[in-house]
Amino acid sequence: MVGVVWLRRSLREFDNTSIVEASKEFDKLVLFYCIDKDYFDEADLGYPRVRFWHDSLKELKKSLEEDGKKLIIRHGKPVEELGSILEETGGEKVFVNQDYSPYFRKLVKDVENSLGVDVECVKDSVMFEKEEITTNKGTPYKVYTYFMKKWFERSKRKPEKPEEYSTLENLDSDRIPSLSQLGFEKPDEMGWEWEAGRKTGLNLLEDFMEKIGSYHTGRDKPFVEATSKLSPHLKFGTVSIREAFWRAEEFRKKDGRVDEGVKTWQEELAWRDFYFQVLWNWPETVEKAFLEDFRGIEWEHNLDFFDRWRKGETGYPFIDAGMRQLRKTGWMHNRLRMAVTSFAAKDLFLDWREVHRFFSEKFVDAELSSMLGGIQWAYSIGTDAQPYFRIFNPVSQGEKHDPDGKFVKRFVPELKNVPKKYIHQPWKMPEKVQKESNCIIGSDYPEPIVEHSEQREKALELFKSCKD
């Protein structure tokens, strides 16, 4: 008897629920990975995410081989490829880790309908899913704080290793196409600093334990490396959510002084679960604002604004530094994600769906649920969103979170000699200071793209008119 494990986003063997569960029922497994042609055609993919996935998949294949196991790779349409695998092996049941995207939900239905096979979708990527944590009335949560309280109270699964199993060997496996065969080249402006794969993910988690004690005080300072940078590893499952949570917990038990930092970090893991359940329970938020009041907002399609925002040439240093960090590294600090998205919304009125497409291509950790959650939060159109009348000021955000301009200077070198006094509003530099700083506004660095206080008023009116 053979069980088929259909691997998708969890690129590890240890604590991979689909493998763990399959190994409890079957001694012989087919570990199957489909490089999904349809997904590559349809999704807004970009180099950082694809490269991270590619490197992680290669590492998984190799580490399984070192353990005498074979990963069967097929490049094609999942329903067809899974159909062939079942035919070739007589596989009786398919195990797959649950994914919460509309794409996956449809895919599983297609597999079941076309192949008539029993597909067991098991929870893996989150601690709590779907309707596991609900209000006392049994409805899904729209407010994070209440969700989070229950999230902490519930008992949580520990990481688990699969039972002994062997894999079927006598099956054809495709080569993993190269990145250029898949149509992805590293953008010139990008310096690749990510090491993908499980080994690095676990090291990163371990290294982060040195910093977790001060996470609550450092996480909003983009000029220090205070966060874990585990997001692409959690996205591709090279480290499991259970490993992350329990490693932090173990550390806290050993050293009570780190309590607040650990708790604050685990709250972020709960945010991640929260947004997964939002996506599951309100899948329409992929296309529509969660808040119906704001679905009718007519966002602008100003190509010049979009282009300058995308390139980090808005003339607001904090915003530009965030966008350039993204272009250069494929990742952006959370504080900046909030600030640049708020700027796109309430200063430039860019359509949030276009912002979403752009981020999906550029983020190494692009995760549909968290990204939609984060964007709709900043646009004040989502669950538990920032109220529309709270509008980030791009200057004071910089002054508060990067007081000396260290982060700005790292990513916007034109401003490296600008005195601290002007670093977040360089257009206020007198001519003499501009010359001394080698930074002439309008030629070395742009004038502000818009006047924030004017845009603020427009945004308030726009949202208010929809609410009324």
Ligand X SMILES: Cc1cc2nc3c(=O)[nH]c(=O)nc-3n(C[C@H](O)[C@H](O)[C@H](O)COP(=O)(O)OP(=O)(O)OC[C@H]3O[C@@H](n4cnc5c(N)ncnc54)[C@H](O)[C@@H]3O)c2cc1C
For residues 183-222, which are near ligand X according to CB under 6 A?
219
Q: What is the DSSP letter of 2?
A: E
Residues that contact ligand X, how many (by CB under 6 A):
27
Nearer to ligand X, 229 or 288 (CB): 229
CB of 440 to ligand X, least distance (A): 33
Q: How far is the CB of 255 from ligand X (least distance, A)?
A: 18
| 354 beta partners | none
Q: Does 238 bind ligand X (CB under 6 A)?
A: no
* Rg of the Cα atoms in the chain: 24
Q: Which of 126, 133, 168, 378 binds ligand X (CB under 6 A)?
A: 378
Minimum distance of ligand X from residue 291's CB (angstroms): 16
Asked if 17 and 122 count as a contact pair (C-beta separation under 8 A), the reply is yes
Label residues 171-194 b or e (16+ Cβ within 10 Å = b).
eeeeebeeeeeeebeeeeebeeeb
Rounded to the nearest whole angstrom, what is the least distance from the CB of residue 338 to ligand X in the complex? 5
Sole residue written with tokens 């994600």: 337
Cα separation, 70 vs 89, in Å, equals 14
Residues 97 and 108 sit within 8 Å (Cβ to Cβ): no
**Among the listed residues 85, 196, 234, 258, the single contact to ligand X using CB under 6 A:** 234
> Which of residues 194, 275, 306, 318 is near ligand X by CB under 6 A?
275
Shortest CB 299 distance to ligand X, Å: 16
CA distance 292 to 369: 19
Task: Give yes or no for residue 228 binding ligand X (CB under 6 A).
Answer: yes
356 near ligand X, judged by CB under 6 A: no
Residue 224 contacts residue 218 (beta carbons within 8 Å): yes
Q: How far is the CB of 164 from ligand X (least distance, A)?
A: 32
Cβ 450 to ligand X shortest distance, Å: 20
Residues 372/327/46/4 CA torsion (nearest 10 deg): -70
Contacts 24+ apart (CB under 8 A), 387-390: 388/294, 388/459, 388/460, 388/463, 388/464, 388/467, 389/460, 389/463
By CB under 6 A, tell whether 363 contacts ligand X.
Answer: yes
In the complex with ligand X, the residue whose CB is nearer, 240 or 370, is: 370
The nearer residue to ligand X, 71 or 368, going by C-beta atoms, is 368
Reference 467, options 233, 289, 222, 221; nearest CA is 289
320-339 binders of ligand X (CB under 6 A): 334, 337-338
Question: The tokens of 46 are what?
Answer: 């970009």
Smallest separation (angstroms) from ligand X to the CB of 25: 31
Stretch that binds ligand X, among 74-82, 223-231, 296-304, 443-451 (CB under 6 A): 223-231
Query: Which residues would be at the binding site for ligand X (CB under 6 A)?
Result: 219, 227-231, 234-235, 268-269, 271-272, 275, 334, 337-338, 341, 363, 365-367, 370-371, 373-375, 378
